Structure 1
Amino acid sequence: MRQIDYDFVFTDAERDGLREVLLEIATNPYSDFESYMADMSRLRGDQRLGSRFTDFCEMSMLRDFSKAPLVVIGNAPIDLDLPRFGSTNPVDEKYRLKKTFVAEGFLAAYGVLTGTEIIGHLSVNQGDFFHDIYPKESMFDSQSQKTLGTLKFHRDFANHFVSPDFVNTLTLRDTPTNEVYSTFTVTVHALDELSDGDREILAQPRFHTPFDDVSTRQGDVLGNRRAQDHAVINMDEGARVFEDRTRGLDEEAQQVLDRFVAALHSRKQMRVSKPGDSVTFSNRDVIHGREVHAIHDLDGLKQRWLLKTHNVYTRKAFEEFFLGDRYGVVNG
């Protein structure tokens, strides 16, 4: 596996200056998201954000995401006071204990400066636009961002009816004594390992992926709906796969899928992120996961914390799926 390098690193002065700007935003991103984003949007053009970062955000959106889908930023501002939560219900504790929103502000500012918009899903933290990669006891053994263990290769919302264009993450607290690796494979790199015949089969609707653990365990949001059969590779939607959950609907399709998953592992890159590291990537062009190789500090692993947003080019494209009283939150 190859370590992924930084594309942009804040100086300490730039980081501290941006943190002060973000601390001036008085609205709460969890209780009044629309007002919060309206306040954030007014920062566009604010010289205090620094032209070096704003120029970088603009230029990053001009890349060919199929070939260069990962953007890694270092030394980004995060909250100086990071409360610790238990494992029973960490989200409720966050609402109660987290008093500043610097991390949320950074991810929001990144969305504003890249011209992308944040969406939520009702099945994830009841529709929060900012949600956590943070272990939850009832889901320690799940295949979700709330697991304590390895999360296999997947695309976020692999077979959901609304899948985001981008996944943005920011590390708030890590576990340096544990061996935990974020893994990424650029889809076209894995496809290079396969034959034309294999790629042709992957492009056919001969596969099925059940809805993800978060969507199905967080209440009865999806009802009795069955996820649709699908192609693994679609020119318009990119790759749609979740290792060991996606299945071929016939023997030939399963054999090709097995070869594709093997190719994902053979071409994977890794990253060990530290606080202030932000990794954003095209959800259609990257398959990602997390591997836990060794645990030396179980309590520390239980409090490993990344903040996350799902972004789209425009929320207008998904309006038919939003809750009537919560624009931007997918009913599912």
Structure 2
Amino acid sequence: MIPLFIFEAGEKSQLLSLLEQVQLSPYKNYSDFSEEIKELHSQVPQRFVKACQLISDERARHQQKIHVIRNCPMDQVIPELDPDDPVSDKHLKKNKFISEAFLELFAQLTGTPLLSYETRNQGDFFTDVIAIKKYSGQLTGFSDSELVFHNDRTAHKVRADYITLLGMRCPDDDLIYTGYIDGADIVNNLEPKHIAYLREPHFYTVFDVFSRDMNKQLSTSEKHPILSNLHSIRFLDTMTCVAEEAPLEARDAFIAFKSAMTRSQCKRHRILTGDLLTFANQDGLHNREKIDILNPESAAARWLLKTYAFKDSRTAESYEAYWANNRAGCVID
């Protein structure tokens, strides 16, 4: 994809110097960390502020649901992480938080409050898309495998409206792409009779292996529709199924939905180190494709820093009943 915005050298240096002033750890005190970022708004390069506003406007008008920003400020030292437990190792080794500060700033400037999960990565608001050795070859973002088309946290009741990924370590010689299909394209490729059944709760989704490991009580979701709102999707390929008692028409609609996915346009982006890729989680589907891997070890060490975000403050507040220990944004999983 063509980036919407590319930081010029001077802008990047200016913002890097600004974010270096942030001393608080987002992993120890996210609330105060977030407040410290808010105090920097007036000093942020205006061209970047305008780019964030453009992203917000295009999202609101349903014009564009996926955007790329290139040459972003980030940590100067990227530690090597233990593949057996990269999250705990990150907490030990990472003592600079410029990348986290940049992602928080982006969330604030686009008006999309961050979301975290109590049972995932200690409730951190900044999580890692990185291979964990025990999940090698399995269907989870924490594996070294490809990923089928899906929404993040499909089976969960509280799901992000937006996902943002920052390339921390992306091998130069391996072609790994993130694909994105707009939910509007899928709906446009469906017949009205199929749309009607896809909007009814005839389906369920099996929780992914990582979620089940974090919470042993999780197995399958409640019955849910696949389509909602104008073109929101709730679907994890190979893990979303038709309920046994569903009518035959729902099964026909399910087959039609998968065919519509295939006929829909797929936008692809290869995330480079320093790239920010942001997209609508519920209004589309995304995947991970490994096109050409020359060095499996470096590909397995690929590291993206990720945030989940709500559509806006009002949406975040509507989930207040799910807050864990009254910690705004961190939901009981």
TM over 0.5: yes
Matches within 5 A, 1:225-240: 226-235=220-229, 238-240=232-234
Normalised by the length of structure 2, the TM-score is 0.92
CA distance in 2, matches of 1:310, 1:271: 19
Please tell me the residue identity of whatever aligns with 1:321. Y
- 2:204·2:220 contact (CA, 8 Å) conserved in 1? no
DSSP-derived class of the 1:194 partner: coil
Please point out which of 185, 190, 204 is paired with 2:186.
190
Please point out which of 35, 38, 41 is paired with 1:38.
35
Deviation of 1:236 (Å):
6.8
**Paired position in structure 2 for 1:60:** 55
Please tell me the residue identity of whatever aligns with 1:306. L
**Paired position in structure 2 for 1:319:** 320
Deviation of 1:13 (Å):
1.4
- 1:173·1:303 contact (CA, 8 Å) conserved in 2? yes
Count of residues in Structure 1 that have an aligned counterpart in Structure 2: 325
**Per-residue displacement from partner, 1:197-255 (whole Å, max 9, x unpaired)?**
222221111111122333212243xx257411111001178110001100122454334
DSSP-derived class of the 1:107 partner: helix
DSSP-derived class of the 2:77 partner: coil
Deviation of 1:86 (Å):
2.1
DSSP-derived class of the 1:292 partner: strand
Matches within 5 A, 1:1-332: 4-46=1-43, 49-63=44-58, 64=60, 66-220=62-216, 223=217, 226-235=220-229, 238-249=232-243, 250=246, 251-266=248-263, 267-312=265-310, 313-314=312-313, 315-324=316-325, 326-332=327-333
Identity of counterpart residues, as a percentage?
A: 25
Normalised by the length of structure 1, the TM-score is 0.93
Are residues 65 and 71 of structure 1, via their aligned partners in 2, closer, same or farther at CA, if it must alter by over 3 Å?
farther
DSSP-derived class of the 1:270 partner: strand
CA distance in 2, matches of 1:140, 1:123: 21
Deviation of 1:153 (Å):
0.4
CA distance in 1, matches of 2:117, 2:295: 32
CA distance in 2, matches of 1:305, 1:93: 13
Are residues 142 and 275 of structure 1, via their aligned partners in 2, closer, same or farther at CA, if it must alter by over 3 Å?
same
Are residues 262 and 87 of structure 1, via their aligned partners in 2, closer, same or farther at CA, if it must alter by over 3 Å?
farther
RMSD value, Cα = 1.7
**For structure 2, which runs of at least 5 residues remain unmatched after alignment?**
none
**Which stretch shows the higher mean deviation, 251-260 or 26-35?**
251-260
**Which stretch shows the higher mean deviation, 240-249 or 65-74?**
65-74
**Per-residue displacement from partner, 1:103-144 (whole Å, max 9, x unpaired)?**
111100001111121111023212110000000011223322
